[in-house]
């Protein structure tokens, strides 16, 4: 008997009814916030994902040559395709440009509880001036969706990747090496992160300062540990979110992303009640 590929799932009628209901709620809420849906191909040129993330990402995605010898990859996420679509065809559109998307993604990683090789991603992009207003609106949309689907006891953690990127740059870390360090920090693999920083000739005091920042979690007061534009940006976001009525949030400077297109605010939402699948965003 032929089995389904490892890391994939089948969904029966009852499950599909639930999934379509949730998808409809997300789409309606995005529309309320003024976002409009786009769609991109399930496969793209591999270069779209390696150009900013580096060749190492090849080991984590489904990449192959098609019959014409072109390097193709199944999309591992939807942000890069959305931005490729924007650059190709939408860059002259009126701003702010609000887009959302929903679709299947594929990553070649070890299947485990809550992680699959084929999964679904919902996302939104707000392209306008890079101010706290835009970032706050996206977080408010995510929080509103959580409320609409009836999820309770979830956590919103907000950080700013610019804090760590600036620290690594000031320590003289090459821009091509920094994402490799950030990837290890993102996975909380501190021993490997420390070694990569040593290999980049960072001093031990600088290394421990970076690790300490990734463990900075708590109310807005913890931002006193940092200074500069990133701090001001986060303070602005929290103030605007308060006006939205979003108060169940905290600062987490350990929210790290190794992909190069993450340069500013980053946030995550998790719901412990969901167990191994607790990370929603």
User: Which of 20-24, 96-100, 155-159, 258-262 comes out lowest in average pLDDT?
Assistant: 258-262
Match 């699948």 to its residue by tokens. Answer: 277
Q: Do 149 and 267 fall within a single domain?
A: yes
What residues are paired with 120 via a beta bridge?
104
Residues 139-193: tens digit of each pLDDT: 999 999 999 999 888 889 999 988 888 889 899 998 888 888 888 888 888 999 9
Q: Do 117 and 231 fall within a single domain?
A: no
Q: Do 203 and 101 fall within a single domain?
A: no
How far apart are alpha carbons 100 and 90 in whole angstroms? 14
Cis preceding linkage at 96, omega within 30: yes
| The pair of three-digit structure tokens given for residue 51, joined into one six-digit string | 């150009």
Question: Checking DSSP bridges between strand 71-74 and strand 43-45, what pairing results, if any?
Answer: antiparallel
Choosing from 95, 128, 161, the residue where a domain stops is 128
With a cut of 70, say whether residue 42 has pLDDT above it: yes
Q: Do 210 and 121 fall within a single domain?
A: no
Residues 195-228: tens digit of each pLDDT: 999 999 999 999 999 999 988 889 988 998 888 8
Q: Do 152 and 204 fall within a single domain?
A: yes
Domain of residue 91, CATH code: 3.30.930.10
Q: What is the pTM of this model?
A: 0.88
Q: Do 200 and 123 fall within a single domain?
A: no
Q: Do 207 and 279 fall within a single domain?
A: yes
Choosing from 128, 149, 168, the residue where a domain stops is 128
Residues 17, 19, 20: CA angle, nearest 5 degrees = 65
**H/E segment holding residue 212:** helix 204-214
Choosing from 74, 102, 128, the residue where a domain stops is 128
How far apart are alpha carbons 71 and 52 in whole angstroms? 16
Measuring CA to CA, which residue among 140, 135, 51 is closest to residue 87?
51
User: If you average pLDDT over residues 52-79, what whole number do you get?
Assistant: 90
Q: Are residues 268 and 255 in contact, defined by beta-carbon separation less than 8 angstroms?
A: yes
**What are the C-alpha distances in Å from 40 to residues 17, 85, 281?**
24, 7, 20
With a cut of 90, say whether residue 28 has pLDDT above it: yes
How far apart are alpha carbons 141 and 196 in whole angstroms? 37
Around Cβ 253, how many Cβ atoms within 10 Å?
Answer: 26
| The pair of three-digit structure tokens given for residue 238, joined into one six-digit string | 């929290």
| The pair of three-digit structure tokens given for residue 156, joined into one six-digit string | 């919103």
| The pair of three-digit structure tokens given for residue 91, joined into one six-digit string | 């860059």
Q: Do 149 and 114 fall within a single domain?
A: no
How far apart are alpha carbons 169 and 1 in whole angstroms? 55
**What are the C-alpha distances in Å from 272 to residues 156, 214, 235, 254?**
12, 21, 26, 18
**CA torsion angle 136 142 147 150 (round to 10):** -170
What residues are paired with 18 via a beta bridge?
none
Show the domain range for 15: 1-128
Q: Do 121 and 238 fall within a single domain?
A: no
Q: Do 95 and 153 fall within a single domain?
A: no
Q: Do 168 and 88 fall within a single domain?
A: no
For 62-117, strand residue ranges (E) read 63-65, 71-74, 97-106
Q: Do 193 and 118 fall within a single domain?
A: no
> How many domains, the chain?
2
């Amino acid at each position: 008997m032929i089995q389904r590929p490892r890391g994939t799932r089948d969904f029966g009628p009852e499950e599909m009814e639930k999934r379509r209901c949730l998808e409809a709620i997300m789409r309606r809420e995005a529309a309320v916030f003024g976002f409009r849906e786009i769609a991109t191909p399930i496969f793209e040129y591999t270069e779209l994902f390696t150009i900013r993330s580096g060749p190492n990402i090849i080991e984590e995605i489904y990449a192959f040559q098609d019959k014409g010898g072109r390097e193709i990859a199944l999309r591992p996420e939807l942000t890069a395709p959305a931005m490729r679509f924007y650059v190709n065809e939408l860059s002259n559109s009126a701003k702010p440009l609000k887009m959302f998307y929903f679709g299947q993604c594929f990553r070649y990683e070890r299947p485990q509880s809550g992680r699959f090789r084929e999964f679904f991603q919902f996302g939104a992009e707000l392209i306008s001036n890079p101010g706290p207003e835009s970032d706050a609106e996206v977080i408010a949309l995510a929080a509103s969706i959580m409320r609409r689907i009836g999820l309770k006891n979830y956590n919103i953690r907000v950080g700013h990747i610019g804090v760590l990127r600036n620290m690594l740059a000031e320590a003289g870390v090459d821009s091509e090496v920094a994402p490799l360090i950030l990837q290890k920090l993102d996975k909380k693999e501190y021993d490997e992160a420390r070694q990569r920083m040593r290999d980049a000739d960072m001093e031990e005091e600088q290394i421990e300062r970076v690790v300490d920042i990734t463990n900075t979690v708590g109310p807005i007061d913890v931002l006193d540990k940092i200074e500069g534009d990133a701090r001001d940006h986060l303070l602005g976001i929290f103030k605007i979110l308060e006006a939205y009525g979003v108060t169940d949030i905290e600062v987490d400077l350990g929210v790290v992303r190794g992909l190069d297109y993450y340069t500013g605010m980053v946030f995550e939402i998790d719901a412990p009640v969901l167990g191994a699948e607790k990370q929603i965003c």
